[in-house]
Chain A
Amino acid sequence: MTSLLTRPAAPSAGPPSLNRPAGRRPLPQGLTAAIWATSGLALATGFLTDLGGARGFGLAWLIAMLVPLASLVFEGRRKATDRFVTVLVVTAFMIAVIPLVSILSTVIAKGAPVLSAEFFTTSMRNVVGEGGGIQHAMLGTLIITGFATLISVPIGLFAAIYLIEYSDGGPTARGLRFLTDVMTGIPSIVAGLFAYALFVLIFGEGIRMGLGGAVALSVLMIPVVIRSSEEMLKLVPNELREASWALGVSRWRTIVKVVLPTALAGIVTGVTLAIARVIGETAPLLIIAGMTDSVNTNPLDGRMATLPVFAYSALMNPGVPPQPSIDRAWGAALTLLIIVMLLNLVARGISYLFSPAQRR
């Protein structure tokens, strides 16, 4: 694309080019490179020395602004504007990366010292001050997310099968797709309130229950599973279905034996990403699953701790002395982050290993 922008060099002895007024010379290549390098150096200095990241960033930005300035002198207004926007676009990206780096480094720096075998194998039962761990919260997260997956995957997958394999793309299907999209936008806390309102009808006021958390998470997870499975089923070539029908195979066996196996890797990827999305949900679980210090493995029996809610309450109500609780919160946050990142990696790994299009 850049090559289109470069004007052919005018012969030195020839008449002045029409579209390059006198005094407009191309920007020396070395100059731009030198300015970018200095800018990068300033940024690195900011992060590595006492100068501080913010000051280093500001300095790097000011130096980078020399590029459009030099361009204004050498090349004229239009190219200077173009270079100015380039600097802005790169700046936007840098600004977006700063919080990511800051979050990851904060969580790792504060969470890593806390992680130990004891941290993962003890609960908070009868723990005051130091010690204790997140065993109860990890088990709770595992159970609640597991049940949410058990509820969401069949519903989501069958709904996707209906949309792709059975519906004729008429108003019903379009309406359902639209509702799925709208359902994706339900705030997580509203899903929690819905689960609470539902379970209050069955079990009475003040109910807290792990299964309720699973229902709340399912409300958030089902639309994600539908959308991703739908995309994957769409990718299955129609020739495969037609070949199967031509052999006299019934419609449902075609779906089970031909369509689903073909789309399996993609569906598993989608489900893994959906799990990664809901496993970090805090608000609905705070409402309906509550918080407890002991191990509770029965989703039908009272409060159940989860990693995000544990991290939240350990930070917000640290007790006295506060520091051990805050440390545990960072440990739980790091554990959660590691689980989410692993799920994302697994999802990408599956789609990479099993998709023939990507291997090519």
Chain B
Amino acid sequence: MSKTIQRPGDTIFRGLAQSAAFVILVTLAAVALFLTAKGIPGITADADQVKHGTTFATFVIPLVFGTLWAALLALVFATPIAIGVALFISHYAPRRLSGPIGYVIDLLAAVPSVVFGAWGMMTLAPAMQGPYAWLEENLGFIPLFAGPASSTGRTMLTAALVLAIMILPIMTALCREIFLQTPRLNEEAALALGATRWEMVRMSVFPHAKSGIISAAMLSLGRALGETMAVAMVLSASGIITFNVISSTNPSTIAANIALSFNEASGLTVNALIATGLVLFVITFAVNFAARLLIGSPKRAKGAKK
């Protein structure tokens, strides 16, 4: 190593770059810190000091339930479709078509959430009234469809459907990337042994993609947990805990509840709402953290093989 000349320009530029990178750390820490600082008075507030009139735990538990329930339903709807579309793009569609088809799905990702909310509220919800009545009549013995069916269609199932559509593009994109990474030789070996296309996918693509699909699902779950507007606009919420997905009384989600009540809130109610935001932040952070750890591991395995 020879002696390097230190130029002042270099020092300044390096400092700028370093501090910009440091900003990420500071921002994340600040988000956690400010939400905690503003949230704690809301957590410790007495029942008569806040608008919702209960202690924080009784207030937040139905919201946490609603958040997880809506996101889970959305995930259940979106996962098979996303895997199917990703397979269609990566292994089934003619190569010339797969690019444009990818763009079409990406278009869905570009639609603003408020447009999804408006569509869910004004188009999807009215269209679902008939199916909900049918579900109550014919499948009412299942607790999920116990009814009474909502007359507006603004139910948990509708909200979950909109959420599923919203997480579909990101999930499809992630699954597509994973499917395309299948070693070409494995696929060709399967085909050469006489496997049909589906057998090839089942025997060479899916085993390779399993952990990737799981982390894609978890990342999408993180999205669905934090999605605000679609739920706020579609769901008619009443702060109860129920698994019934077609009635007009539904648990709200944390994000939707904040959006709906923040502007009318004052005093300690604001702090309580910020505290629910902190809970949401912790939940999504944990989900994303776990998903990223999962994504990180196959890469390491690949490096070790080389």
Contacts and interface: CB of A to CB of B under 8 A. Distances in A.
To the question of whether A and B form a pair in one complex, the answer is yes
Given A4-B191, A194-B34, A96 B81 contact: yes
B120 to A, nearest CB: 9
Given A92-B88, A185-B288, A206-B266, A190 B226 contact: yes
Given A193-B258, A252-B10, A162 B18 contact: yes
A82 B285 CA distance: 40
Interface residues of B, number: 91
Contact of B258 (A5, A95, A189): A189
B274 to A, nearest CB: 5
B263 interface: yes
B2 interface: no
A276 interface: yes
A226 B23 CA distance: 12
Interface string A75-110: 000110110011011111101110110110011001
A92 B172 CA distance: 11
B70 interface: no
Nearest to B197: A82
Contacts of B277: 189-190, 193
Contact of A92 (B14, B31, B85, B287): B85
A181 interface: yes
Interface in B2-18: 7, 9-10, 12-14, 16-18
B196 A81 contact: yes
A243 interface: no
Contact of B88 (A81, A90, A107, A279): A90
B35 interface: yes
A258 interface: no
Which secondary structure dominates chain A's binding surface? helix
A96 B108 contact: yes
Contact of B191 (A1, A19, A255): A1
A187 B24 contact: no
B119 interface: yes
B259 A287 contact: yes
B216 to A, nearest CB: 13
A159 B23 CA distance: 8
Contact of A286 (B199, B226, B259): B259
B31 A186 contact: yes
Contacts of A276: 110
A187 B255 contact: yes
Interface in A163-182: 163, 165-167, 176, 178-182
Residue with the highest number of chain A CB atoms closer than 10 Å, among B24, B93, B197? B24
Interface in A204-239: 205-206, 219, 222-223, 226
A165 to B, nearest CB: 7
A253 interface: yes
Nearest to A200: B38
Interface stretch (B47-55, B99-107, B142-150, B238-246): B99-107
A180 B198 contact: no
B27 A290 contact: no
Contacts of B285: 182, 185
Which secondary structure dominates chain B's binding surface? helix
A100 B255 contact: no
Interface stretch (B58-66, B132-140, B151-159, B227-235): B227-235
A280 interface: yes
Contact of B37 (A78, A90, A196, A197): A197
Contacts of A223: 24
Contact of A1 (B23, B122, B197): B197
Contacts, number: 273
Contacts of A182: 28, 285, 288-289, 292
A197 B274 contact: yes
B85 A93 contact: yes
A103 B117 CA distance: 10
Nearest to A110: B122
Interface residues of A, number: 97
A344 B103 CA distance: 11
Interface string A308-331: 110110011000000000100110
Interface string B110-134: 1111111111011110000000000
A282 B228 CA distance: 8
A336 B19 CA distance: 35
Contact of B21 (A176, A183, A191, A344): A176
B259 A107 contact: no
Residue with the highest number of chain A CB atoms closer than 10 Å, among B121, B201, B225, B255? B255
A163 B23 CA distance: 13
Contacts of B225: 187
Contacts of B76: none
B259 A283 contact: yes
A250 B284 contact: no
A184 B38 CA distance: 23
B214 to A, nearest CB: 16
Contacts of A290: 263
Given A96-B172, A176-B24, A197-B274, A185 B284 contact: yes
Interface string B217-230: 00100110111110
Interface of B: 7, 9-10, 12-14, 16-21, 23-25, 27-28, 30-31, 34-35, 37-38, 80-81, 83-85, 87-88, 92-93, 101, 104-105, 107-108, 110-119, 121-124, 165, 168, 172, 191-192, 194, 196-199, 201, 219, 222-223, 225-229, 232-233, 255, 258-259, 262-263, 266, 270, 273-274, 277, 280-281, 284-285, 287-289, 292, 296
22 contacts: A1-B197, A82-B198, A88-B84, A91-B84, A96-B81, A96-B168, A99-B108, A155-B23, A161-B20, A165-B17, A182-B288, A187-B226, A187-B281, A189-B280, A190-B280, A194-B31, A200-B38, A205-B266, A282-B117, A311-B114, A340-B110, A344-B110
